[in-house]
Amino acid sequence: MKMQKMKNNVCRLGAQNWNRRLFDSLIPLPDGTSYNAYVIMGTEKTALLDTVDPTKTEILMQQLEDIDRIDYVVSHHAEQDHSGAIPVVTEKYPEAKVVATPKAKGMLVDHLCIPEERIQTVEDGETISLGGKTLEFIHTPWVHWPETMVTYLQENKVIFSCDFFGSHYATTDLYVTNEAVVYEAAKRYYAEIMMPFRSVIRKNIEKVEARDISMIAPSHGPVYDKPSFILDAYKDWVSEDVKNEVVLSYVSMHGSTQKMVDYLVSALVERGVKVHVFDLAVTDLGKLAIALVDAATIVIGTPIVHMGPHPAVFYAAHLANTLRPKLRYASIIGSYGWNSKAIEQIQGLIPNLKVEILSPVLCRGCPRESDFSALDRLVDAIAQKHRAL
């Protein structure tokens, strides 16, 4: 796509990646993604904000064909999906300085071999004037790495936020047109890369919100011309409030754990608790991450494989532990053949989750009446804990 005008002398460029299905060899991308860059032309100088993933460098360079001079390449974030084309851009524009936080400088040198002398560091709140366009740099660590910052274009009241507020969503739309679709894509993005740092992100939202904002322009997904949509969503996600919801992630091999899961779901719903159910053998782990943003409780269901949990449960439990959702309670259900160390092993996988463990229910073989009674007691405990929230 060609450059798209947002404001006078402010344009979006970059590339849509329609068919990318995995990020960091980890994160599912059902809707692809985009790598947005922005060009801002002042009366004296021109700045390029972020670049693109290295695989899309050619597209960016075609978009820059008619731009004779770039004075600044602002690197909000050293991860390669935004910084990957900086070496090619700076080769084309030998006068350009790379503008970054002090922490980003070393990362840009390490990851992209950008010569130190090409990098100009900026402090929190520092400004650069392009002539009628003033770039104010706001340090916002941990959105997504520790070196990240955003830029506020003072005259046009636009926040260029890079990963912050972004969504993995490839679209021809410059602005958000379908809020429901973008909400889910942005929540997936938040869950997978920012949720662990939500206390810092709360402070970053406050810093950003202290400005008068007309637009938020991230480097993934469409631009928010109604900033309150994404700001309100983020404030909800980073709050410490949990919802009356259970995430039930499980695997079943021969049907016994499945019977327990089906019983548990039905009993929870009867007691007014919403349940998100994920069969880990087939689920999109991004959907699981989204559900973990709000839920008060996680229940892990597993058959026993050689005394321990199913390997898919190891993976999902480790992922949940890494994402550090604001869960308050956890429990474990499942079925074993002759012996089990699953409870101890799963508990050992989730030390980052500050949860109270509610009585696990493991049965030998098929669940029987006494096992369903134990599940009822677990459900009563969950419902009671949720009512008290």
Are the CB atoms for 293 and 325 separated by under 8 Å? yes
Identify any residues that bridge with 330 across adjacent strands, giving them in sequence order: 298, 357
Are the CB atoms for 220 and 36 separated by under 8 Å? yes
How many Å from the N-terminal Cα to the C-terminal Cα in the chain? 49
Site for ligand FEO in 56-85 (CB under 6 A): 77, 79, 81-82
Least distance to ligand FEO, CB of residue 230, Å = 16
Of 226, 227, 223, nearest to 14 by C-alpha is 223
Residue in 31, 147, 163, 371 binding ligand FEO, rule: CB under 6 A: 163
Q: Which is nearer to ligand FEO, 42 or 218 (CB)?
A: 218
H or E element at residue 148:
none
Least distance to ligand FEO, CB of residue 220, Å = 6
Least distance to ligand FEO, CB of residue 312, Å = 26
The three-class DSSP label of residue 361 is strand
Q: Which is nearer to ligand FEO, 27 or 290 (CB)?
A: 27
Of 157, 159, 218, nearest to 190 by C-alpha is 218
H or E element at residue 154:
none
Q: Between the CA of residue 231 and those of 204, 213, 234, what are the distances in Å?
A: 11, 11, 5
Q: Which is nearer to ligand FEO, 20 or 144 (CB)?
A: 144
Least distance to ligand FEO, CB of residue 72, Å = 20
Going by C-beta distance under 8 Å and a sequence separation of 6 or more, which residues neighbour residue 32?
16, 17, 18, 19, 20, 21, 168, 169, 170
Q: Which is nearer to ligand FEO, 198 or 276 (CB)?
A: 198
Q: Which is nearer to ligand FEO, 191 or 349 (CB)?
A: 191
Of 345, 340, 268, nearest to 299 by C-alpha is 268
> Cα–Cα distance between 352 and 354 in angstroms, integer?
6
Q: Which is nearer to ligand FEO, 142 or 278 (CB)?
A: 142
Site for ligand FEO in 171-190 (CB under 6 A): none
> Cα–Cα distance between 262 and 146 in angstroms, integer?
42
Least distance to ligand FEO, CB of residue 143, Å = 8
Site for ligand FEO in 132-161 (CB under 6 A): 144
Joined together, the tokens standing for residue 246 give 């259970």
The site map against ligand FEO for 244-283 (x = CB under 6 A) is ----------------------------------------
Q: Which is nearer to ligand FEO, 111 or 202 (CB)?
A: 111
> Cα–Cα distance between 142 and 154 in angstroms, integer?
23
Q: Is 20 in the site for ligand FEO (CB under 6 A)?
A: no
Least distance to ligand FEO, CB of residue 144, Å = 4
The site map against ligand FEO for 82-101 (x = CB under 6 A) is x-------------------
Least distance to ligand FEO, CB of residue 105, Å = 17
Residue in 45, 198, 220, 386 binding ligand FEO, rule: CB under 6 A: 220
Pairing of strands 243-250, 295-305: parallel
**Where on the chain is the footprint of ligand FEO (CB under 6 A)?**
77, 79, 81-82, 144, 163, 220
